[in-house]
Structure formats: structure tokens, C-alpha cells
Amino acid sequence: MQITVSGLPGSGTTTLSRLLSEYYELELVSSGEIFRRMAKERGMNLGDFGAMAEKDPSIDLDIDKNQKSIIHTQDNLILESRLAGHMAEGVPNVLKIWIKAPLLTRVKRIQRREKTISFDEELAKTVEREKSEALRYKNYYGIDITDLSIYDIVIDSEKWNQYQTLDILRVAIDALVGPE
């Protein structure tokens, strides 16, 4: 089984990937965690590190090359990143999931997770980060991150909590691969 989970910041991709990984006993590879760790190692926040990545394509290209290699060579895993579905292009039988949520909901989640000072500051940072990422994806790969047509499942995480969303995804996954 191979599953990709993608979505914009604060949509719940990491939480749902962890829950799916635990339920199906699959290895989880999270590029967002890698990106955050790289920013922290450099003493930078995500916005500043994203701006640096705009100027230094090797950062994104290395992460993406790693993702592509993993999804093309390993089974029984969940690959979680903004571009995971795209990195799985050409790999048969990969279930591609996109988790979405409205901007304001996502910003509230990020603010709660990051314990940032104000909603308005987090909103501005998130909008800037998403513009930066969208520009890089377009420039590097010709990918329009707003085009969800490659995904098998698109689910709105604002409508259900993480466990309800997990239940919905489990029904869909089990219908494809059979229950444990």
C-alpha cells in the first residue's frame, strides 16, 4: 500500500498522516517535518526559510528528489507533503489524498500549533508562505498547486474532526485494498 497525503499549511495533513500510519502500520515520511527541521537547524522561521528556498532551488529540489525516490522504491508507506501526489506520478496504485480547509481555519490551527502572537500576523505569514511555495512549484515543475485533478480523494478537514476524517478515509482505503 502506498498513500500520499497533501494539503496546504494547517489543513491537517500531518495529523491525518500520523493517524493513517498508526492504523495501517505504514511508515510515514513527512517532507513538512524535514522542511521544518531544516529551518530550525538554520535558526530560521518557516517564512524566512521559504524565502531562502525561493533563492536557492537546491533546498526544494533535494527534498522533492528524495520524495520521488522513496515513493518509487518503497512499499507500505505514507508520503506526506504538499507535492507528494505529484512526486508519485507514474507509480501505479498509489492513493493520492488532498486535505483542504478554508484559509481562516488553517491559520487558527497554525496559530494554535505554533503559539504565535496574533491571528493577523499568522494570517499574513501564511498567505506569504503559500504564495512563495506556489511560485516555487510553478517555476520548478510547472505545477499549479490549486489544480486538484490528480487526487483520488479531496476532503475538507473543517467539516469533521481528525478522527471522523480518519474514519472516512479508512472506508475509502478499505474499499480499494480490503480491510486489515
Task: Output the pTM of the full model.
Answer: 0.86
- CA-CA distance, 139 to 122, in Å (whole number)? 25
On whether the CB atoms of residues 19 and 164 are closer than 8 A, the answer is no
- Model pLDDT, residue 58: 87
142 labeled part of a ligand binding site: no
Q: Is 178 annotated as a binding residue?
A: no
Domains of the chain: 2-175 (3.40.50.300)
Residue 54 is predicted with a pLDDT of 78
- Give the rounded percent of residues in the chain with a pLDDT score beyond 90: 56
For residue 129, the one-letter residue type is R
* Rounded Cα gap, residues 160 and 152, in angstroms: 19
Pairing assessment for the beta strands 27-30 and 153-156 based on DSSP bridges: unpaired
| Residue-wise pLDDT tens digits, 82-139 | 999 999 988 889 999 999 999 999 999 998 887 777 899 889 989 988 998 898 899 8
Binding site annotation covers 11? yes
Q: How confident is the model at residue 47 (pLDDT cuts 50, 70, 90)?
A: confident
Q: Which residue in the block uniquely carries the three cell numbers 536557492?
A: 56
Judge whether 15 is annotated as a binding position.
yes
Residue ranges in 42-100 assigned as alpha helix (H):
46-55, 58-73, 84-87
Residue 13 annotated as part of some ligand binding site: yes
Nearest to 33 by CA among 23, 43, 18, 51: 18
